[in-house]
Amino acid sequence: MTQRKSRILQNVHEGAKDLYDLGIITIEDMREFDALCLPATVPDYTAEEIKAIRERLKISQPVFAAYIGVTKNTVVGWEQGVKRPAGSARRLIHLADRKGLEAIA
């Protein structure tokens, strides 16, 4: 059931994005679709996964930290497994992972 709902939400979101790109719906409407289509839960990323995301995005630890809104030392801690991202940082990592840096810029 979760997988089907996820596919449905993805299709609805893609349709809304197309309408936005065509100028048929407003930015406010698009933001509402974005919020409605976000997953209810966000993965609890491991140190290796966080580092892999950052490297796939081809950015340094300080740049990644700036995008997420934390310090470079926090990113280092995440990648070493000493710290774990929580709350909004975890959601921003998830968005960057799924949609790229432009989604959080």
pLDDT of the chain, 105 residues: tens digit per residue: 344 557 787 888 889 889 999 999 999 988 888 877 766 678 899 999 999 999 999 999 999 999 999 999 999 999 999 999 998 999 999 999 988 999 898
> Is-above-0.75 flag for pTM?
no
**23, two tokens:** 């100028």
Listed in sequence order, the residues at least 6 apart from 9 whose beta carbon sits closer than 8 Å to its beta carbon are 36, 37
**83, two tokens:** 């710290």
